Amino acid sequence: MATATYLSFSAPPSSCAGRQRRRQATRASASATDQPREVVSPKRRLPLRKVPGDYGPPVVGALRDRLEYFYGPGGRDGFFTARVRAHGSTVVRLNMPPGPFVARDPRVVALLDAASFPVLFDTSLVDKTDLFTGTFMPSTDLTGGYRVLSYVDPSEPNHGPLKALLFYLLSHRRQHVIPKFREVYGDLFGLMENELARAGKADFGQYNDAAAFSFLCQALLGRDPAESALQGDGPKLITKWVLFQLSPLLNLGLPKLVEDSLLHSFRLPPALVRKDYDRLADFFRDAARGVVDEGDRLGVPREEAVHNIVFAMCFNSFGGMKILFPSLVKWLGRAGARTHGRLATEVRDAVRAHGGEVTMKALSEMPLVKSAVYEALRIEPPVAMQYGRAKRDMVVESHDYGFEVREGEMLFGYQPMATKDPRVFARPEEYVPDRFLGEDGARLLRHVVWSNGPETASPTLQDKQCAGKDFVVLIARLLVAELFLRYDSFDVQVGASALGSSVTITSLKKATF
């Protein structure tokens, strides 16, 4: 499968007059014929087509799309699938929520296949300034008055030092990650066993929230939040704080008119969560003192470092575990006893071969575990959406056509459609745990893009790929290993939640071999 290529039709941004002449010429040419015309690419020749779709009347069109997105048939996936079907194209124009009156401009060019999606990773072509949550940016009052790293484009001078700080946060206590994970998640499974014996079922998400925050603080900072002024309140405070940032994008199951008016039309006032956020910041200001010192050496002001650490630990890391871990348990639970047996055998054989210890070497000898994690990240990526603003006129290629995109237009990618593209993945809607085994599986990894970049790449100071990409994959593999060291099989019930899946464990069959 060929990789998408991009052609620039414009000179550098400073050449305004030339750019205007070229746009006039392009419009004149486009109006001369509605038929696709050929565009020469360095790698392939594809017919050039106008991006289909429209935005509708101002305000009204955005409101229409918002209601269909949140409340239409088929939900979010149905919204995008209907547009692809209506226009016969995986690159379309549409309005993305929240629209009025939260976002100034909801208009996007949506990239809904694996070929077009990767343009969003190329920071020479797209600008990422203030686009982490999409067409609107939450108030900096929610992050101590600072634009944290997720909203900073690599072209900005503070991007490199801030990302270097996160690399340090994730790596400076790496020898503690595996033992602390096993300790904390071992306790989680003990608690769940007790709850199953008492009530016949156990809410994985509830226990996971407490374990995830405790693990992150102990492994990365060497501090147990339960022994601080936070006590056990961390997950509750974080969840409320995240709600105030993402409420315009969430569906909480309230009555439609109430929810759309309350959450999607106006921002929740940051003042209502300030005391909660201050408690979190006070904890990290003390617990992360050594990391803040490193920020000093990198040229990051101490308070800016504190608020970036809060965001990285609470929004990115804790938020990621809150979404990914229930999703992983859901897909594994549905995979059935045969898959469970294969995983249990692989995990236990590898651990026995290394003296009964879970080590990096032992994990490297669990290829099915790693594939099962990648498959969960493919079928239900924890961050579903990516945005970027075109830095210049360009052509974005789908599998079949090239599409002209103008400088300043917003590009939006819906990742689940890219990672379930049937022209890349066989049985794309199925969870296939061994999909990424062998040479053929390894070739597919470049299409696993949950981290704002391909799984075959590593994050750098110059890009927007997730700084914690490898850390996330590691702890997800640890969860699978811990699960199948303890249990032969397990059963789940699955529901929906505002952030991913709600998973209830209904049985845990203890290890017998």
**pLDDT given at position 500:** 85
103 neighbors 135 (Cβ within 8 angstroms):
yes
Give the pLDDT confidence of 23-61 residue by residue, as tens digits: 343 333 333 333 333 333 345 579 999 999 999 999 999
Predicted local confidence at residue 37, as pLDDT:
32
What is the token pair recorded at 200?
Answer: 């016949």
Three-state DSSP at 37 gives strand
> For position 13, what pLDDT does the model report?
34
Q: Measuring CA to CA, how many Å separate 278 from each of 237, 244, 273, 314, 457?
A: 10, 14, 9, 13, 36
Question: Per-residue DSSP letters for 243-302?
Answer: HHHHGGG---S--HHHHIIIIISSPPPGGGGHHHHHHHHHHHHHHTHHHHHHHHHHT--H
- Integer Cα distance of 381 and 375 in angstroms: 9
Binding site listing: 466
Mean pLDDT by 10 residues, the chain (513 residues): 32 36 37 33 75 97 97 95 98 97 97 98 98 97 98 98 98 98 98 98 97 98 98 97 97 94 96 98 98 98 98 98 98 97 98 98 98 98 97 97 98 98 98 97 98 97 98 98 98 90 96 96
Query: Phi then psi for 230, rounded to 5 degrees?
Result: -65, -35
**pLDDT given at position 497:** 86
Amino acid 491 reads D
Pick out the residues of the known binding site for heme.
466
pLDDT value for 171: 97
Give me the pLDDT at residue 239, please: 97
Q: Report how far residue 198's alpha carbon sits from residue 235's, in angstroms, rounded to the nearest whole number.
A: 24
Q: Is 202 exposed, middle or buried (0-12, 13-18, 19+ CB in 10 A)?
A: buried
Cα 169 to Cα 219: distance, rounded to the nearest angstrom: 10
Sheet holding 402-405, edge to edge: 7-8, 394-397, 402-405, 45-49, 37-40
User: What pLDDT is recorded for position 43?
Assistant: 55
Written as six digits, the tokens of 87 are: 């226009």
pLDDT of residue 19: 39
Packing angle of the helix pair 367-379, 337-352 (nearest 10 deg) = 140
Kindly state the tokens that stand for 259: 């929810």
| Structural tokens at position 27 | 């419009």
Give residue 168's Cα distance to chain centre. 21
Report whether 478 contacts 185 (CB < 8 A). yes
Domains and CATH numbers, the chain: 48-510 (1.10.630.10)
The CA distance from 356 to 400, in Å, is: 52
